[in-house]
């Protein structure tokens, strides 16, 4: 991992021991640069290994601080923090911290040569999942601060948190109707209303009455992100995928099957009122277009959740 260089003659590296064997998530950093973050889970010690199939050892995070050119560097103390915060993009500069842990690495003094510090935040509760959306980012990171009289030296390293939920006890199918009096009557059903991230949406569309000339029909998954609260509330929708499920005019009594595999899409779980800052919901959007390019819509909310990975052992 490359070190960041600062105006002061100090280089800081944060090395998460065992990070190379963890699952990695690619996220957008500053200036649209892509960075790779190791995945952690609720209750993981930040710095310990949780993948039993890889290693049963238990080690700490290491912070390496190097003094360039052999110069003496005077500091007023070195600390490390583990932080969770929410950044609303319309309110830049105001980060809402929901988690803040701190440890002192060194008392005030001088540095003339490289030093390495070990630390460990043990069994940390991470109540929210990491998220990077259109108007909001929920972020966890390790931050090292070297306090100096002129200007502090700060280095941060992100991790990515996944939160698992048990499958719902009840998962009813969805049945709805689309109708225009004496012109169109359609019924459609989906096999359930709650899906895990690698699930398959299975359904059928039934044409009971067709007296308008339908040109084609499409189904899309829409993610709707809500941030803030009135009067400063923002809603953004993005289409995750859209595909045509019918081309041409249907006839009365026709049935069209639907089979949509979710594993290939960039989905997150459904988030509802996270820390009273944001929500993320998903909708199945059915659109019919007639030969005069009139569009008929029907939308239904679904719930997305993350199931535990079968080969993961959390210590």
d(C-alpha 177, C-alpha 189), whole Å: 9
Q: How confident is the model at residue 240 (pLDDT cuts 50, 70, 90)?
A: very high
- What are the boundaries of each domain within the chain? 10-162, 174-311
What is the structure's pLDDT at 135? Answer: 92
Within the chain, residue ranges assigned H as helices are none
Q: Do domains 10-162 and 174-311 have the same CATH topology?
A: yes
145-190 pLDDT tens trace: 999 988 888 999 999 999 887 777 888 998 888 777 778 788 889 9
What is the structure's pLDDT at 313? Answer: 43
**Are 67 and 43 within 8 A, CB to CB?**
no
Specify the higher pLDDT residue, 308 or 5: 308
What is the structure's pLDDT at 47? Answer: 56
Percent of the chain with pLDDT over 90: 40
Burial class (CB in 10 A: 0-12, 13-18, 19+), 125: exposed
d(C-alpha 131, C-alpha 275), whole Å: 13
DSSP string, 11-30: EEEEE-TTGGGS-EEEEE-G
Which parts of 163-265 are beta strand (E)? Answer: 174-180, 184-190, 194-196, 200-210, 214-229, 232-247, 255-261
Partnered with residue 260 across adjacent β-strands are 201
Give the list of residues 6+ apart from residue 208 with CB closer than 8 angstroms, or none.
185, 186, 187, 252, 253
Strand 153-162 relative to strand 109-111, pairing = unpaired
What is the structure's pLDDT at 226? Answer: 96
**Are 236 and 224 within 8 A, CB to CB?**
yes
- Asked if pLDDT for residue 239 goes beyond 90, the answer is yes
187-234 pLDDT tens trace: 889 999 999 999 999 999 888 887 778 888 889 999 999 998 888 889
Place of tokens 């993610």: 223
What is the topology classification, in CATH, of domain 10-162? Immunoglobulin-like (2.60.40)
> Looking at the whole model, is its pTM more than 0.75?
yes
Mean pLDDT of the chain: 83
**Are 48 and 122 within 8 A, CB to CB?**
yes
Q: Which of 48-57, 167-176, 278-287, 291-300 has the lowest mean pLDDT?
A: 48-57
110-145 pLDDT tens trace: 988 888 888 888 888 999 999 999 999 999 999 999
Place of tokens 């225009």: 180
What is the structure's pLDDT at 45? Answer: 81
Q: How confident is the model at residue 11 (pLDDT cuts 50, 70, 90)?
A: confident
d(C-alpha 182, C-alpha 178), whole Å: 12
The yes or no reply on domain 174-311 and CATH 3.40.1000.10 is no
What is the structure's pLDDT at 107? Answer: 93
d(C-alpha 241, C-alpha 221), whole Å: 6
Centroid of chain to Cα 234: 19
Give the list of residues 6+ apart from residue 103 with CB closer than 8 angstroms, or none.
79, 80, 81, 119, 121
Q: How confident is the model at residue 93 (pLDDT cuts 50, 70, 90)?
A: low
What is the structure's pLDDT at 200? Answer: 95
CA atoms within 13 A on the CB side of 129: 18
What is the structure's pLDDT at 85? Answer: 95
């Amino acid at each position: 991992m490359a070190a960041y260089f600062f105006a002061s003659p100090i280089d800081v590296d944060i090395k998460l021991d065992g990070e190379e064997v963890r699952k990695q998530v690619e996220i957008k950093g500053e200036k649209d640069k892509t960075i790779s973050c190791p995945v952690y889970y609720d209750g993981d010690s930040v710095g310990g290994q949780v993948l039993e199939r890889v290693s049963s050892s238990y080690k700490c995070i290491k912070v390496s601080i190097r003094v360039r050119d052999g110069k003496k560097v005077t500091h007023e103390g070195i600390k490390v923090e583990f932080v969770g915060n929410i950044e609303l993009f319309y309110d830049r500069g105001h980060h809402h911290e929901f988690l803040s842990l701190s440890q002192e690495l060194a008392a005030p003094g001088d540095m003339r040569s490289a030093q390495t510090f070990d630390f460990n935040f043990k069994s940390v509760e991470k109540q929210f999942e990491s998220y990077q959306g259109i108007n909001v980012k929920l972020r966890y990171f390790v931050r090292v601060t070297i306090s100096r009289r002129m200007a502090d030296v700060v280095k941060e390293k992100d991790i990515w948190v996944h939160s698992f939920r048990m499958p719902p006890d009840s998962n009813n199918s969805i049945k709805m109707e689309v109708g225009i009096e004496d012109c169109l009557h359609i019924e459609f059903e989906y096999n359930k209303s709650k899906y895990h991230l690698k699930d398959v949406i299975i359904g059928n569309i039934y044409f009971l009455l067709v007296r308008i000339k339908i040109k084609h029909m499409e189904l899309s998954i829409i993610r709707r992100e809500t941030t803030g609260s009135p009067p400063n509330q923002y809603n953004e929708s993005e289409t995750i995928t859209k595909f045509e499920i019918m081309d041409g005019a249907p006839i009365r009594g026709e049935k069209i099957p639907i089979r949509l595999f979710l594993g290939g899409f960039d989905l997150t779980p459904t988030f509802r009122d996270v820390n009273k800052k944001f929500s993320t919901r998903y909708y199945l959007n059915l659109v019919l277009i007639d030969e005069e390019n009139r569009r008929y819509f029907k939308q239904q909310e679904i719930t997305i959740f993350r199931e535990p990975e079968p080969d993961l052992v959390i210590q």
